[in-house]
Amino acid sequence: MPRDALGLVFSVRCPDPELGCHVNGLLEGLPLALDDGSAVRLELETVATSGAGAVGAAVVTLITDINMNAIVAATGNLLFHAGAVSGPDGDVAVISGASGSGKSTLTARLVELGLAYLTDETTCVDPITLQVTPFRKPLSLKPGSQVDLAHLRDTLGSAAARFSDDVWLIRYTELGGSPLPSTPLLPRVLIFPEYAVGKRLSVQRLSPGEAALALGENSSGLRAVRGGPLPALARLVEQAPAYRITHSDSEAAAHQVRELLAA
């Protein structure tokens, strides 16, 4: 069955049944799409070549391709390079930053604390209503995050061990967390993490201007945002206070973010 990723309707063909089962499990967080022929369809095929490393690289490439094409499909929305989690009332913490800032690690920690997983890489916000559309792709953990979240290695399973590469792809169900709330998902806090070895946890409140600039620096397709990017960013930073969190302990940082979300 085709699946929907931010409006991208796609299907995956895998010649290896075990690999196909593994990939299908990774994609289970994305909703099934109606196969009525009216939506744009993207066919993605992974080929089981020789060696687990080559297959693992193909799966990582597949997930990357889905993400990149989903961004194109969602053009017109605010698209942040960010993770996102939600409380039971639909209040969302958007965790934005460049690669290496620790946003995926922090997102994983927050889900382990009981929040609902929305995404770890691309947060899609409607520029008019400011509602967040879930994009529950598998959470991607690079080597730096793997050290901090080593306990998740056991959740990968035997198939993933065979098809693993440098990047761990974690099913959102393996993180625990809560189901998606039925209420609208709206940003209530903006978090800009900075991981720094040996640094004590510090929290800095950002001005709306600083927050809008930081979001803009970590966005895709800003020029195409419906109604213009500046009005949408202005509404967002007025609605959701923003904080820069510097830390060397992702678990402590996650507890801090949960407190800010609940405030």
DSSP structure class, residue 256: H
Under the banding of pLDDT at 50, 70 and 90, the label for residue 48 is very low
Residue 17 lies in a domain: no
pLDDT tens string 135-144: 999 999 888 7
Q: What is the pLDDT of residue 57?
A: 78
pLDDT tens string 67-120: 999 999 999 999 999 999 999 999 999 999 988 888 999 999 999 999 999 999
> What CATH number is attached to the domain comprising 209?
3.90.228.20
Residue 159 lies in a domain: no
DSSP structure class, residue 65: H
Strands (E), 134-222: 139-141, 168-170, 186-195, 202-206, 219-220
pLDDT tens string 175-225: 889 999 999 999 999 999 998 888 899 999 999 999 999 999 999 999 999
Under the banding of pLDDT at 50, 70 and 90, the label for residue 157 is low
Tell me the sheet residues that pair with 79: 124, 220
Contacts of 65 (CB under 8 A, 6+ apart): 44
Contacts of 45 (CB under 8 A, 6+ apart): 12, 13, 14
Residue 121 to residues 94, 141, 240, Cα–Cα distance (Å): 10, 11, 19
- Radius of gyration in angstroms for the set of CA atoms belonging to the chain, rounded to a whole number: 18
Domain count along the chain:
1
Q: Which domain holds residue 84?
A: 77-134+180-262
Residue 39 lies in a domain: no
Percentage above 70 pLDDT, the chain: 89
Residue 99 lies in a domain: yes
Tell me the sheet residues that pair with 190: 94, 242
What is the helix (H) or strand (E) element at residue 62, kind and residue range?
Answer: helix 52-73
Residue 110 lies in a domain: yes
Residue 200 lies in a domain: yes
Q: Give this prediction's pTM.
A: 0.91
Residue 49 lies in a domain: no
Amino acid at 108: A
Residue 9 lies in a domain: no
Under the banding of pLDDT at 50, 70 and 90, the label for residue 130 is very high
